[in-house]
Amino acid sequence: MVRVKRSQLREGCVLAEDVIGKTKRPIMTKNTIITTPLLQVLEKFLVEEVEIEPFLANGEPFSPGDSAAAEDQRPLSLYLETVRQYKTWFQSWRSGLPVDINEIREAVIPLFEHMTGCKRELLALHHYATKEEYLYHHAVSVGLLAGFLAMELGYSRGECHQVVLAGVLSDCGMAKMSKQILTKPSALTEVEFREVKQHPILGYRMVQKITALSHGAKLAVLQHHERNDGSGYPLKLKAKKIHPYSQLVATADVYHAMTSERLYRRKQPPLRAIETMLRQQAGRLSADAVAVLLNRLVGLQTGAVVKLSNGETAEVMLIQPDEPTRPVVKAARTGRLLLLSTQHDIYIEEVLRAPMDE
């Protein structure tokens, strides 16, 4: 860990220890990701120094003495601004106003274009989703992630943009849900969940007549909770009737939901989420899309440097096809080889550096 002055902090820094106030109660807890509002909190509580990790939330090294290392924060700033805008759009939909696709496109597409060259930042977006603001972060992140999947799978630029818009609008129908459901701090009842299952239909009605959205994008709003085996909703469609755009948005939706802190569910580390997706969603989600998440976004490849759940740093030595999230790794401190496929009490918490980052 590194002790730094408040003035040396920047967005993306990760707290290595709790920040304790004058009342001996934590102001912020260990592993909190620093954002601009949190910097203002530290200033308000007159906190002068904190302990942080030697790497940022996106896995890049952090050097407090190197101001040049604080590279352009534009991607994160653009993202947070777009989340703020989405919140205003959502509130306008709740009041009955229509979807303004031009305003959404002008905000979201430049953000996507900027993020396509920042894969590590894209992977770290779930860190910024708070329990209270989850819905807004989720919509923007799902759009960006779905667009990235489309890009990596060879879709045209125009198609990628349609996928991004579909992802951002996939939960617009939630604006028609009761506030009690949207803010409920515990799991939904069966009756409440039946109501929530209507949001894809409500969302489809909101975008159905928008000429700037392709037919596939509109179907993605309707179908993003459908599953290949017919177990999804609202229409229980099977793979052949689910549009490819819907498959991409569905994969992004599940991944971001599992890796984000929610009112009634704790988040999972990215690799644990993908491991769960491979195990629980096999045959339900697009195998190609999940493979892109694992190999090209998370960067779990031979030669990657990873952080294990026991706190150790290790290098990936061999990916095992049957259990790709549980490779053979070599512990950096001891040089010992660990077969994660046989040591289920240890898992990869995050990829610190992928081979392509070197």
Is a pLDDT exceeding 70 seen at residue 14? yes
Residues contacting residue 340 through CB under 8 Å, at least 6 positions apart: 323, 326, 327, 328, 329, 346, 347, 348
Helix extents (H) in 287-328:
287-292
How far apart are alpha carbons 237 and 225 in whole angstroms?
A: 10
From the options 3.40.30.10, 3.90.105.10, 3.90.1150.10, 3.40.309.10, give the CATH code of 2-69.
3.90.105.10
Confidence of residue 263 (pLDDT cuts 50, 70, 90): low
Assess contact for 28 and 41: CB atoms under 8 A. yes
Could you tell me whether strands 2-5 and 337-339 are parallel, antiparallel, or unpaired per DSSP bridges? unpaired
Predicted local confidence at residue 70, as pLDDT = 44
How far apart are alpha carbons 266 and 154 in whole angstroms?
A: 34
To 10 degrees, the CA torsion angle through 77, 78, 82, 84?
Answer: 20
Mean pLDDT, residues 23-49 taken together: 84
Task: Indicate the range of 77-86, 111-120, 214-223, 329-338 predicted with least confidence.
Answer: 111-120
Q: Cα–Cα–Cα angle for 275, 279, 280, nearest 5°?
A: 115
Can you tell me which residue has the tokens 């195990």? Answer: 279
Whole-number percent of the chain with pLDDT over 70:
94
In the structure encoding, which two tokens stand for residue 125, read together? 């977006």
Is a pLDDT exceeding 60 seen at residue 73? no
pLDDT, tens only, 325-349: 899 999 999 999 999 999 888 988 8
Given CATH 2.30.30.40, say whether it is the number of domain 74-296.
Answer: no
Confidence of residue 67 (pLDDT cuts 50, 70, 90): very low
Task: Indicate the range of 69-73, 250-254, 279-283, 325-329 predicted with least confidence.
Answer: 69-73
Mean pLDDT, residues 230-259 taken together: 96
Q: What are the structural domain ranges in the chain?
A: 2-69, 74-296, 305-357
